[in-house]
Chains A and B, each alone.
Chain A
Amino acid sequence: MAKVEVTIQLKPSLMDAQGVTINKALHNLGYNEVKGVRIGKFVELEIDGDKPADIEVRVREMCEKLLANPIIEDYQVNVAAGNPALEVREPRTAHATKPRVEDWRGFHMSVSEYEALDWKERGNLHAEFQQLHGDWIEQQMQERGAKWILVVEGAVIAFGLSWQDCPNSLELGEQCLQSQKMHWLFEKLLCIEETAWSPLSEGDCYPTISLEIVGNNPSVSVQLTADFDSGSNATLVGESTLRLAGLLPSRLMLIQTASHLGRTFQYASLPLSVLVTDESGNRQVGEVDGAIVYGWEGSPFTSINPRREALVGRNFLLSLPACIELDGITRHTRITKVSSG
């Protein structure tokens, strides 16, 4: 018999009316240090079974069907809780268990099977591994001081101390095809700081930058007006924008997941050739690491500004590099200098 604990909470994007009320009540009691309250549910299950991985899969199914409403709620499953009889995955810190073949369907996956999946399924697979073996991944990165690790058949075959040398989705895809083995990349989370993310209200606007993404054949390009966000180190573009412009390689792309504003999104990493023109007419093409976001229109990046075409972060500014003046008076962005100018 195993004891399983499930916690269920409203998604962060939803206002928690109960939490707001309790927050106020705590302030009335003088606990002014309380800066936020969110209230959830705690469910304790007693379950027949002795394989934690199997139990977890079943309980997640229960959550999806009944215990939580995935439209409005997130849930966490903890199989460990107070059950010494059962051998379970240790929480963070201690020795995280090595991923076992039977734990994860991705182990048995051939490259051609993976290619047959759509982007959502590929993303789910990546997220599933992260969920099942998050502790193990973190331990591997911690031991090596790595920013990213590459996992093949449950073993770390490569890692990097910086993001600079991290293989992109295209290169990884080629490695998969050559070796006929699935390569799984796990990175320290794509860093998008949540600063200034209050909804765009009247009188508030995002600085924008005009840019052009060009292909190997310079006649193929797409012009974009991107929101500039210095709180993000990533540059993000919608997958369909690039695909429709003919700028997306048709070769195998590995799809990863990350989360932003509490919501998961799927992306592939790909270097982008970005062309900007400064106000004196100098043109500069720079290579910027791009995150190609699948399902852009339903993604967290368009939930605040639905008209957003792309989001450029600090890596754009630093890779190109360019000198940019954000003019709050005229509300225009001036690209005053590019490095060749």
Chain B
Amino acid sequence: MTFAVLVFPGSNCDMDCHHVLSNVLRQPVDYVFHHETDLSKFDCVVIPGGFSYGDYLRCGAVARFSPVMQAVQDHVAAGKLVIGICNGFQVLLEAGLLPGAMVRNDCQRFVCKYVNLRTESTDTPFTRRINKDAVLRIPVAHGEGCYYADEQTLRELKEKDQVVFRYVSPEGVVTPEANPNGSVENIAGICNAERNVLGMMPHPERCSEDLLTSVDGRSIFESLLAGSV
């Protein structure tokens, strides 16, 4: 499976993603810069975390209009895979590729810590190797990760099983204390109705090696590969 890692001015998790995909999962990976317009040779596009365009105006608002994002739209329309992590999730929301929006953390702080995620849907290419309700330990690092969607959008997300991850207690229970940023219904990650686009605030690329405290992030990338054979 060939991966593209997008690079915007201000991306800072691009090298981590590249490292995990190439050195841990042994897959072909290329960096693709924001001004490029062709993604046709890739199977999966990773939009990494960071502060694209300095988070000016709103997180992801400017990146959304860079030339490569038109190519991402075409890539999605062709049914190919996209995963947006942290700032990448924000870019996908601003681009309208995922529903809802992101606002500032309700606690007003930049939150950087490990959180527990419950896998709500395993019917996606990103989670098919994970057991339903499995709790993953994956770190977050963001200031604007409070997911918001109006009632109707929320209803649709749930009806179509698009909520992929929720913030939970270590025991796997949705509680207000487990919610690091005030996201509506503890939502940490969602996919689109066609199930080929995933956006999540936590960083699976930061916990995919034995050397680090958790390897839970790797199961997401391994799920992707499991479908490519």
Contact = CB atoms under 8 A, between A and B. Distances in A.
B151 A72 contact: no
B57 interface: yes
29 contacts: A14-B148, A15-B106, A15-B182, A17-B103, A17-B104, A17-B105, A17-B106, A17-B107, A17-B108, A17-B146, A18-B104, A20-B108, A21-B108, A41-B57, A66-B62, A66-B65, A69-B58, A69-B61, A69-B94, A71-B100, A71-B148, A71-B149, A71-B150, A72-B148, A297-B152, A298-B150, A303-B150, A303-B151, A306-B151
Nearest to A306: B151
B134 interface: no
Given A66-B61, A69-B94, A302 B151 contact: yes
A41 B58 CA distance: 10
The interface centre, meaning the residue of A15, A18, A69 with most chain B CB atoms within 10 A of its CB, is A69
A2 interface: no
A302 B100 CA distance: 19
Contacts of B62: 66
Interface residues of B, number: 21
Contacts of B182: 15, 17
Interface string A272-302: 0000000000000000000000000110001
Given A66-B57, A298-B150, A298-B151, A72 B65 contact: no
Interface residues of A, number: 18
A209 interface: no
Contacts of B107: 17
Contacts of B149: 71
A10 interface: yes
B101 interface: yes
Contacts, number: 43
A10 B103 contact: yes
Interface string B64-104: 01000000000000000000000000000010000011011
A20 B105 CA distance: 12
A15 B149 CA distance: 13
A10 B58 CA distance: 12
Contacts of B103: 10, 14, 17, 72
A67 interface: yes
A69 B104 CA distance: 14
A261 B105 CA distance: 23
A71 B106 contact: no
The 7 closest A-B pairs by CB, nearest first: A298-B152, A71-B101, A72-B101, A17-B104, A17-B108, A21-B108, A17-B106
Interface in A7-39: 10, 14-15, 17-18, 20-21
Contacts of B58: 69
A64 to B, nearest CB: 12
Contacts of A306: 151
Nearest to B61: A66
Contacts of B105: 17
A67 B58 CA distance: 9
Contacts of B151: 298, 302-303, 306
A10 to B, nearest CB: 7
Contacts of A71: 100-101, 148-150
Interface in A33-51: 41
Nearest to B64: A66
A17 B183 CA distance: 13
A156 B58 CA distance: 43
Nearest to A21: B108
A173 B108 CA distance: 51
A22 B222 CA distance: 45
Contact of B108 (A18, A66, A69, A303): A18
B187 to A, nearest CB: 15
Nearest to B105: A17
The interface centre, meaning the residue of A10, A14, A17, A302 with most chain B CB atoms within 10 A of its CB, is A17
